[in-house]
Amino acid sequence: MNYQAPLRDMQFVLYELLQGDQILPALPGYEDATREIMDAMLNEGAKLAENVMAPLNESGDREGCQYDPDSKTVTTPSGFKEAYRQFAENGWTALSSPVEYGGQGLPHTLNTLAEEMVCSANLSLGMYPGLTHGAINALTSYGSDEQKEAYLPKLISGEWTGTMCLTEPHCGTDLGLIRTKAEPNTDGSYAISGTKIWITGGEHDLVDNIVHLVLAKLPDAPSGSKGISLFLVPKILQDGSRNPAFCGGLEHKMGIKGSATCVMNFEQAQGWLIGEPHKGLQAMFVMMNSARLMVGLQGLGVAEAAYQTSLQFAKERRQSRSLAGPQEPDQAADNILVHPDVRRMVLRQKATIEGSRALAYFTAMQLDIAHKAESVEEREQADDMVQLLTPVVKAYLTDEGFFCANDGLQLMGGNGYTQDWPVEQLVRDARITRIYEGTNGIQALDLVGRKLGMHGGRAIKRLFAMLDQYIQQNADAPHVAAVKASAAQLQKATMWLMQNGMQDREQAGAVATPYLRLMALIMLAYFWSRMAATAQQALNDGSTETDFYQAKLFSADFFFAKLLPQTHSLMADIESGKDSLMSMTAEMM
Amino acid sequence: MNYQAPLRDMQFVLYELLQGDQILPALPGYEDATREIMDAMLNEGAKLAENVMAPLNESGDREGCQYDPDSKTVTTPSGFKEAYRQFAENGWTALSSPVEYGGQGLPHTLNTLAEEMVCSANLSLGMYPGLTHGAINALTSYGSDEQKEAYLPKLISGEWTGTMCLTEPHCGTDLGLIRTKAEPNTDGSYAISGTKIWITGGEHDLVDNIVHLVLAKLPDAPSGSKGISLFLVPKILQDGSRNPAFCGGLEHKMGIKGSATCVMNFEQAQGWLIGEPHKGLQAMFVMMNSARLMVGLQGLGVAEAAYQTSLQFAKERRQSRSLAGPQEPDQAADNILVHPDVRRMVLRQKATIEGSRALAYFTAMQLDIAHKAESVEEREQADDMVQLLTPVVKAYLTDEGFFCANDGLQLMGGNGYTQDWPVEQLVRDARITRIYEGTNGIQALDLVGRKLGMHGGRAIKRLFAMLDQYIQQNADAPHVAAVKASAAQLQKATMWLMQNGMQDREQAGAVATPYLRLMALIMLAYFWSRMAATAQQALNDGSTETDFYQAKLFSADFFFAKLLPQTHSLMADIESGKDSLMSMTAEMM
């Protein structure tokens, strides 16, 4: 795959739109995150993604991971081990991890940009260090000092990788149902027994040791989700012996075939409690929240890769004549980009990707502010945004990532459907992102059921305040009237939810998915207006990058003309509530 | 795959909604198509699809077709040959073909219902006889008597199969660019030379002979699409010798892996002109039009298969509790069908599939009326409907078939993504239907660029007359006000097209895709209102099938509450026209 990191657009969003080069180095602890440092990192990351990871994407899909039932080991596709080693040695696993355990202590935002490139280049390969992040975050927040010292340095350096072991064969979403047991040993450790499925990187040959974070129930556990505890279960124990945490097989999946998705059998494996007994769900949410943002980035990354591939194809392909008459009369046919319907697919990808990029990077920067800002108020405000927008980023960017990959396939016609081109793989790879780390339906329930109501609706009020402030202070910005009108729709939908969803939670559940989508579109409208204003300013200031900035203005026009109007259907869907969903009995289906 | 033909719903649409048991046997030549005969055929077809074809669907995907470069032959997956033989021997290839050449002369409508079942059960296997149909239709319309006698009986009996050889490596949509040559031999035949790609069933082991219908250019051909002629090129010549029309390889595709998609090399192969020189495009449209309806049915068939699989999964899966409180307190969790967002996915599949079925069968019946009705007016009226609705059926049913398959995958969560379940294959298989026989973008251009304007807009006027008549005569029918409002939207969009698209064809091209979708939704609204009225009448008449008819009423409610409102966004998209699509230069993308 011929991927080129979209550095110019990444820089536009990070610096010109979001002022990351001013805001980030002003945060205590992030003083090093100057524009020079960030640019240097991004350039290095781009090279690694383009030259080391992308070339292994197709071969990784064709080869897949291999399981040997005798040794219970997993072999990753050729080249993955070396590429992972380069990734770790160049410091990418350590980028935003704490300095005291060997991390570089750079902003999470920078890691987000790196993630996007990795996910564009090779989603399967990116999963191994990606999941390790969740383990690092949970250990950092809840591990004992002893645990941190024993495990964090090697996880951060990439010498070891980590997993999150949640799902069991009979339960995915509803973790209260898990059956994996943790029985106390005499030495303070626990014997963990049970089967976990869908364990990314549960077993592989990239590194020597794998640190499993496992949800299990203590003997005295209350039933349901309040009885779950989190355990640390290393593959290799500190004395060098093999812990009986074995891979029982690999899932055969539609895509991400280079990522080892394991069934893991814990056969009285030795584990240590992380945090308090029965409080595992909290720690799990720490892992999940950063993972959810990451999965949103996966959607964005795959969409970008599909966009680049299909656009390159479109620029070379000639079929038929322009409806306005021949544009290149000396050629046998015009280039397909003369056709409005082809442009519709190209621009839908472009406007969605660039708008999503702004939303994702904004959320990542809020995460950095939430961690590092000096004042409590700033931290709280930023954390509210992160809480509110995390499910939106996860669900919208993965749904749209899949649709963009499909747009890319569609505009390549039959070519897109063959394995001669990378797009059909991107479609298959992207498909899982709408499901794992909580299906997109669960994200929507998280938004309307938990995030809207948090602290008396504080987060959503702050979101509206941000939109209002923008609208009032930028009355002349491009498309600001449309932002205002669509923000009013979101306000109306939120009111509807308050009035109906509070008394009747099924009403909230019934409209969760269109409500999340509505919020995503309004956020994109806000950012597209801001991006157009930024671009217009640059042109007014005499920038010589006229194509780049003019494209932003045109993409904004496309977004407001062709994509934002989805809000009208979403409003009708929301306002019709639950009735048409709940009347039918299962027997009638 | 555990497929069960939805016979009850098929009968509801064919008999109760469309009165096919009265209309079809009243057509001259279709006297045998009584309800008894049709029911018997449908029952037989269901058994074949369920017991013979469906069991080979997964193995066909895993095994795929194998190409041997030495012998240039293709081996189909295990069991395909025997299943195809049974299909042919039971008369399914001959169902709607002319009696004088060994066909059964039954209505095309019946064939359409059979197609749906075949496509649900095994899309790849169904492709071989499906493509033969196109060849039969073209030969029937344009072949000489000699050609008909030599080839039709064996194509109709299924002893031989047929292909359509159109696409070349450098051109898909724009057939004016083809390079395959036809040079006259001294005996009245032609020597055909060139390479064709994407040839379904170009080479395989199901039968002994394959009849290729090949587009090529005569030496004196005018340039462009007015210089294309159609040739008949059998694999085995009448003297038993092998014609040099060889398979050069197979495409490696995302799905339909059991269908042999061949590169075909014609190396001075002997061929015979079908119809007049340079008039091949006309004959090709005969092949294409029936093929386009068939591809729409493929979308519907795959959607039904995904719906059945995911619904069966949903009925067994338990996760979390109802938002209205525990529904099955003695179980560890409630069934997932208590969750409104799960129901949203199930009902979107159900309402889309059943509405699409009505639209597809209606169009098929119009085709029978267009062929067989006694009066010219009736034939013309019906043909207008077929012309207008063929691109709508093709594009909408395949887009939605893919979305429904994805809904099925989504509601199964991680399970849906694994190859342990058939849905991920259905998603991969469905993906091609949006592309072949003219991409869905091309269907939309066909609708707005050719079909709307035919005979001064006669077809669309007739469609509006049909809608108006229904609205006026059924003022009390369920949802008729919504039908009226949405028909007014379609009228407004059509006016917009007349005013803008006539002078500026790029305006028509820019709104073609949302306009097609708008028309599809309005047709589904019309049929959902009619289906609800039919179901209400049955309940009023004291039918004991209360679940079946009540479900129709609830599905209609869902359609009007949750799906029809898409028209609002489509209207905004249409009315914003081409400006936001055409401004950007290729360099800016």
Chain B contact probe: residue of A254, A313, A400 with most B CBs at under 10 A = A254
3-state secondary structure of B339: coil
Q: What is the mean pLDDT of residues B320-344?
A: 93
A106: left (phi over 0), alpha (psi -120 to 50) or beta: beta
Q: What is the pLDDT of residue B228?
A: 95
Res. A286: pLDDT tops 80: no
> Which chain B residues contact residue A322 at CB under 8 A?
506
- Cβ(B359)–Cβ(B520) under 8 Å? yes
- The verdict on residue A235 lying in a domain is no
Q: Which of B437, B545, B575, B587 is catalytic?
A: B437
Quote the percentage of chain B above a pLDDT of 70: 100
Q: Is the pLDDT of residue A281 over 90?
A: no
Contact state of A254 with B427 under an 8 Å Cβ cutoff: yes
Q: Which residues, at least 6 apart from B347, have a Cβ–Cβ distance to it below 8 Å?
A: A580, A581, A584, A589, B555, B558, B562
Q: At B176, is the pLDDT very low, low, confident or very high (cuts 50, 70, 90)? A: confident
Q: Which residues of A touch B172 (CB under 8 A)?
A: 319, 413-414
The overall average pLDDT reported for chain B is 96
- Rounded to the nearest angstrom, the minimum Cα separation between B390 and chain A is 19
Contact call for A339 and B509, based on CB within 8 A = yes
- Work out the pLDDT band at B175, boundaries 50, 70, 90: confident
Asked whether residue A110 carries a pLDDT value surpassing 90, the answer given is: yes
Distance from CA of A502 to the nearest CA of B (A): 11
- Chain A and chain B share a number of CB contacts under 8 A equal to 273
pLDDT bucket at A171, cuts 50 / 70 / 90: confident
Residue A414 and residue B252: Cα distance in Å, rounded?
Answer: 11
> Is residue B476 one of the residues assigned to a domain?
yes
> Is the pLDDT score of A487 beyond 90?
yes
Contact B589 A167 (CB under 8 A): no
Report yes or no on B469 lying in a domain: yes
Q: What is the pLDDT of residues B189-218, one digit of tens each?
A: 999 999 999 999 999 999 999 999 999 999
A565–B566 CB contact, under 8 Å? no
What mean pLDDT is predicted for residues A322-338?
A: 92
Quick count: other Cβ atoms within 10 Å of Cβ B50?
18
Q: Is there a contact between B173 and A319 if contact means CB atoms under 8 Å apart? A: yes
Query: What token pair was written down for A220?
Result: 């005295």
- The domain of A562 spans 439-580
- The pLDDT score that the predictor gives to residue A22 is 98
CB contact under 8 A, A445 and B337: no
Q: Which two tokens stand for residue B42?
A: 């449908």
Q: Which residue of A has its CA nearest to B449?
A: A323
Nearest Cα residue in chain A from B314: A586
> Could you please report the per-residue DSSP string of A446-512?
HIIIIITTHHHHHHHHHHHHHHHHHHHHTTTSTTHHHHHHHHHHHHHHHHHHHHHHTT-HHHHHHHH
What does the pLDDT read at residue B289? 79
Question: Could you tell me the pLDDT band of residue B171, with boundaries at 50, 70 and 90?
Answer: confident
- The whole-number pLDDT of residue A170 equals 85
d(CA B125, CA B259): 6
pLDDT at residue number B285: 81
The mean pLDDT of A118-127, rounded to a whole number, is 97
Interface test with B, best of A256, A399, A562, A581 (most B CBs within 10 A): A581
- At residue A492 the predicted structure's pLDDT band, cuts being 50, 70 and 90, is very high
Partner-chain contact B573 A555, CB within 8 Å? no
**What pLDDT sits at residue B360?**
98
pLDDT at B173 over 80: no
Extract the tokens encoding B352. 């889309």
Distance from C-alpha of A368 to C-alpha of A373, rounded to nearest angstrom: 8
User: Which pLDDT score, from 0 to 100, does residue A284 have?
Assistant: 83
Q: Which of B419, B579, B583 is facing A252, going by the closest CB pair?
A: B419
Residue A397: pLDDT band by 50, 70, 90 thresholds? Answer: very high
Contact B431 A427 (CB under 8 A): yes
Calculate the average pLDDT of chain A.
96
The count of domains in chain B is: 1
Q: What is the pLDDT of residues A235-253, one digit of tens each?
A: 999 999 999 999 999 999 9
* Cα(A588)–Cα(B557) distance, integer angstroms: 14
Are A27 and A107 contacting, i.e. CB atoms less than 8 angstroms apart? yes
pLDDT given at position B275: 95
- Res A225: pLDDT: 83
Res. A266 pLDDT band, cuts 50 70 90: very high
Whether B117 maps to a domain, the answer reads no
Express each pLDDT in B112-166 by its tens digit. Answer: 999 999 999 999 999 999 989 989 999 999 999 999 999 999 999 999 999 999 9
CB pair distance less than 8 Å for B410 and A576 = no
Calpha distance B117→A321 (Å, rounded): 39
Element (H, E) at B216: strand B209-216
Instruction: Tell me the average pLDDT across B247-263.
Output: 98
3-state secondary structure of B336: helix
Given B172, B416, B508, which is nearest A413 (Cβ)? B172
Task: List chain A residues with CB under 8 Å of B342.
Answer: 441
DSSP B401-438: HHHHHHHHHHHTTHHHHBTTSSHHHHHHHHHGGGTSSS
pLDDT digits (tens, 9 = 90+) for A443-474: 999 999 999 999 999 999 999 999 999 999 99
- pLDDT tens digits along B407-448: 999 999 999 999 999 999 999 999 999 999 999 999 999 999
Give the distance from residue A305's alpha carbon to the nearest chain B alpha carbon, in angstroms.
14
Asked if residue A348 is part of any domain, the answer here is: no
Q: Domain for residue A491, yes or no? A: yes
Could you tell me which residues come within 8 angstroms of residue B80 by beta carbon, excluding any fewer than 6 positions away?
B56, B60, B125, B206, B258
Q: Which of A428, A581, A587 sits opposite B344 (nearest CB)?
A: A581
Query: Is B281:B175 a contact under the CB 8 Å cutoff?
Result: yes
- What residues of B are in contact with residue A419 (Cβ under 8 Å)? 252-254
State the amino acid at position B207 in one-letter form: V
Question: What's A167's DSSP letter?
Answer: -
Write the residue in B418, B435, B509 that is nearest to A341 by C-beta. Answer: B509
Give the DSSP H or E segment for A549: helix A546-558
Q: What is the mean pLDDT of residues A352-365?
A: 98
pLDDT at B224: 85
A44 has catalytic annotation: no
Minimal Cβ distance to A568: which of B167, B346, B572: B572
Closest CA in chain B for residue A576? B561
Percent of chain A past pLDDT 90, that is, above it, reads 94
Residue A522 in any domain: the answer is yes
**What are the residues facing A262 on neighbouring strands?**
A199, A250
Domain contains A20: no
Question: Using a CB-CB distance cutoff of 8 angstroms, which residues of chain A are in contact with residue B346?
Answer: 589
For the stretch B280-322, pLDDT in tens is 988 888 778 788 999 999 999 999 999 999 999 999 999 889 9
Residues ≥6 apart with Cβ < 8 Å to B383: B366, B370
